Structure 1
Amino acid sequence: MYTVIGNVRSRALRVLWMLEELGLDYEHVGAPPRSEDVIAVNPAGKVPVLVVDGTPVTDSTAILAFLGDRHGALTFPAGTLDRARQDSMTQFLLDEFDAALWMAARHSFILPEQFREGAIKRSLKWEFEQSQRTLVARMAEGPFLMGETMTVPDIILTHCGNWADAAGFPITEPRLAEYLERLRQRPALKRAMAR
């Protein structure tokens, strides 16, 4: 049994979605960042945290990789070229999509007000649009980023797409918009979001 700590309006949604895709049992503690429940297992106060046999695992991407490897699903086998391509796509999404959205969030409501630089969001939106063009050129043929198989990067990108919508970062590439609409219809994602 796994325990996921973090509310669904955070990167914890990625972990909840993956667990739903895998059909695994888990407990969900919908605690917000920096709350007592979170700090008890992660002194940094960040979510998500996955507690496995009493051991906390932090960082959504590390958790997704762990679950994929442990259960042999939503990932290619370690040491294969497909896995190298998958990991490359994961890093690209973290560097180009997640990082821009996180920086915008920091300068919108996370940092103390005196450290916020509102003008940075303009350049972040521009970078986000540029990254979409690069992503579309990298997308494989098929319903998923890597082709016919759903993998960890699909969860990360769809979460970033939802985050972008909420943050006012437009999706400008039609192929990406179609992809996101298709992935948003997955029953496992809907179950995770309903928590």
Structure 2
Amino acid sequence: MYTVIGTSQSRALRVLWMLEELGLPFRHIAALPRSEGVVAFNPAGKVPVLIDDGTPITDSTAILTYLADRHGDLTHPAGTLDRARQDSLTQFLLDEFDAALWLAARHSFVLPEEMRLSAIKNTLRWEFEHSQKTLVHRLAEGPFLMGERMTVPDFILTHCLIWALSAKFPIAEARLTDYLERMRARPAFRRAIAG
């Protein structure tokens, strides 16, 4: 059985949701970043941490990719053009969505107050809106990013869009608003967010 460390208000939500979609049993420890229970497995203090057979795996994207590959679901096979497109979308989301949101969070509450640059958030909001326009051109027809099949980048995008709303980063593209509504309505998502 897997163990997931991290609260559902963090990037751990991505992992909890994937495990729910896969229908796999897991134990959830809702530990906060940098808490003793996290630092024991990840010296950086970041969540999530997935424990598999006594081995900690860190970084939500690495965990998602590992779980999808290991269970042969929610991904395209390695070495295929579909997997290359999937990995390209994953990297785009990490570079353009996740990075902007994380930098805004750092300058809102993570960094010491004297190191924060609140004005940077205006630039990050602009970049986030511009990135949405780029992403919409990459969306396939269908309910998911790549079309009819849910894959790793769907977990990342959904989490980033939720994070954006809480950070007051507007979702300017109607297709992304509709997409978020569909993802949030999924039973596995609702179970994960409640955990």
Q: Above 0.5 in TM-score?
A: yes
Q: Compute the displacement of 1:63 (Å).
A: 0.1
* Cα distance in structure 1, aligned partners of 2:130 and 2:75: 27
Q: By how many angstroms is 1:48 displaced?
A: 0.2
Give the partner amino acid of 2:12: A
Per-residue deviation, 1:66: 0.1
Note the residue ranges of structure 1 that are not aligned, 5 or more in a row: none
For 2:53, the equivalent position in structure 1 comes to: 53
Partner-residue secondary structure (3-state), 1:86: helix
Please state how far the C-alpha of 1:86 moved relative to its aligned partner: 0.1
Mapping of 1:146-185 within 5 angstroms? 146-185=146-185
Structure 1 segment 8-47 matched on structure 2, within 5 A:
8-47=8-47
d(CA) in 2 for partners of 1:19, 1:175: 26
1:45-87 deviation per Cα after TM superposition (whole angstroms, max 9, x unaligned): 0000000000000000000000000000000000000000000
Cα distance in 2 for partners of 1:76, 1:193 equals 26
Q: Give the drift of 1:143.
A: 0.6
The residue that corresponds to 1:113 in the other structure is 113
Aligned partners of 2:113 and 2:69: how far apart in 1? 41
Equivalent residue runs for 1:115-134 within 5 Å: 115-134=115-134
- Mapped partners of 2:49, 2:113: distance in 1: 27
**Alignment partner of 1:150: what SS?**
coil
What's the RMSD between the two structures over aligned residues? 0.4
Structure 1 moving runs of 4+ over 3 Å:
none
Distance in 2, Cα, partners of 1:176 & 1:36: 37
Count of residues in correspondence between the two structures: 195
> Which consecutive unaligned segments of at least 5 residues does structure 2 have?
none
Cα drift, residue 138 of structure 1? 0.3
Quick one: which amino acid aligns to residue 81 of structure 1? L
Shift of 1:151: 0.3
The answer to whether residue 82 in structure 2 is matched with residue 76 in structure 1 is no
Superposition TM-score, scaled by structure 1 size: 0.99
Separation of aligned partners in 1, 2:194 and 2:148: 27
Residues of 1 paired with 2:43 and 2:115: CA distance?
Answer: 23
Structure 1 residue 135: deviation in Å? 0.3
Distance 2:94 2:184 in 1: 19
Q: CA deviation at 1:33?
A: 0.2
Task: Give the counterpart letter for 2:62 in structure 1.
Answer: A
The structural deviation recorded for 1:154 is: 0.5
Q: Partner residue of 1:102? A: 102
TM (norm. structure 2) is: 0.99
Q: Percent identity?
A: 74
> 2:2 maps to what in 1?
2
